[in-house]
């Protein structure tokens, strides 16, 4: 029999700070681009009309991982009682022996890596003098995008904007981040900032061409599956384009609509890993509008799991234990 540690939602968040999430996720992008970390394509399993499941494996270093995660948009309004939209498990194994090492709450892992990549992309692609940030969509992932951007050094000069159809949710996040530097505002207020992260469900267009302005950097985090989009096709095609991985982004990300319309080709889109390794340039001039399409990669989840296991081994966090 094997004793298997289980890290709950709270334990994962206690194990990995925003700064650690950013550092580990940045390293994962670099290692993946160099071919040191590998992952097959994400597999979608539709469960109509409720949502979908996603299976996401990855291998890196001495660890192998499988994330089994869901997106069920109707969960929060279930008549039997609310449930999170995103739920699942991360199973981590020893890549040398296949021995199971731990189970982690996938919701927390996803929140941390989503927030981390927003900060990483901003640092790589925004103007060097960018400071003011906005987050459109202040749910779980939007909140972690804001926290990680702060951890990366953004937002310290004030004038930061939070937008959400639930004003109380946006206000609570503003109070947490610092009411002197953060305020609840409109989409028009948001695009006046230097870095804008969209973290909406991706079921309706939030930004169009007329709302963009020179020098802006955009993180598009909500379109994580086929049929989703947060910007119009014309707005996407007008930007300098970057993505986490072309294969996913072109078939189930913010870029998909523009690709299918023939307005964006592969050679117009740069992988973030290539920018981070110095193999490709990022922003080309202060007037460019840069757009990063994040669809969520298994190597990012592996990065967070690696950090969480290190914290567990060092005694910085406690786990539940189940016996197999």
Whole-angstrom distance, CA of residue 241 vs CA of residue 249 = 11
Distance CA 100, CA 104 (A): 12
d(C-alpha 304, C-alpha 88), whole Å = 15
DSSP 41: P
Is residue 67 part of the annotated active site? The answer reads yes
Query: Residue 300's closest CA among 249, 237, 244, 222?
Result: 244
Nearest-angstrom CA–CA distance, 247 and 225: 12
Catalytic residue among 42, 54, 67, 228: 67
Sheet holding 217-220, edge to edge: 182-184, 160-163, 133-136, 195-198, 217-220, 290-293, 240-243, 269-271
Q: Return d(Cα 316, Cα 278) in angstroms, integer.
A: 34
Residue 184's CB is within 10 A of a number of other CB atoms, namely: 19
Report the catalytic residues: 67
């Amino acid at each position: 029999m094997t004793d298997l540690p289980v890290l709950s939602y709270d334990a994962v968040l206690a194990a990995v700070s925003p700064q650690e999430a950013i550092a580990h996720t940045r390293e994962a992008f670099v290692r993946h681009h160099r071919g040191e970390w590998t992952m097959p394509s994400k597999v979608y399993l539709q469960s109509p009309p409720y949502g979908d499941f996603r299976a996401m494996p990855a291998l890196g270093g001495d660890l192998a991982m499988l994330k089994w995660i869901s997106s069920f948009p109707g969960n929060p309004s279930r008549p039997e009682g609310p449930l999170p939209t995103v739920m699942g498990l991360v199973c981590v194994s020893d890549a040398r022996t296949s021995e199971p090492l731990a189970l982690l709450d996938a919701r927390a892992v996803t929140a941390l890596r989503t927030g981390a990549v927003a900060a990483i992309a901003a640092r790589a692609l925004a103007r060097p003098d960018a400071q003011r940030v906005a987050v459109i969509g202040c749910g779980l992932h939007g909140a972690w995008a804001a926290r990680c951007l702060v951890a990366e050094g953004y937002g310290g000069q004030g004038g930061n904007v939070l937008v959400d159809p639930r004003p109380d949710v946006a206000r609570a996040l503003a109070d947490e981040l610092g009411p002197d530097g953060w305020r609840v505002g409109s989409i028009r207020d948001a695009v006046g900032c230097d870095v804008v992260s969209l973290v909406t469900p991706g079921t309706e267009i939030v930004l169009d061409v007329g709302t963009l302005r020179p020098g802006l950097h955009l993180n598009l985090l909500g379109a994580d599956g086929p049929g989703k989009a947060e910007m119009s096709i014309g707005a996407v095609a007008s930007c300098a384009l970057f993505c986490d991985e072309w294969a996913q982004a072109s078939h189930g990300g913010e870029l998909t609509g523009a690709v299918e319309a023939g307005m964006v080709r592969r050679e117009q889109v740069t992988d973030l890993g290539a920018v981070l390794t110095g193999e490709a340039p990022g922003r080309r001039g202060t007037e460019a509008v840069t757009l990063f399409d994040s669809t969520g990669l298994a190597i990012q989840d592996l990065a967070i799991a690696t950090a969480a296991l290190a914290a567990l081994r060092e005694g910085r966090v406690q786990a539940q234990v189940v016996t197999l």
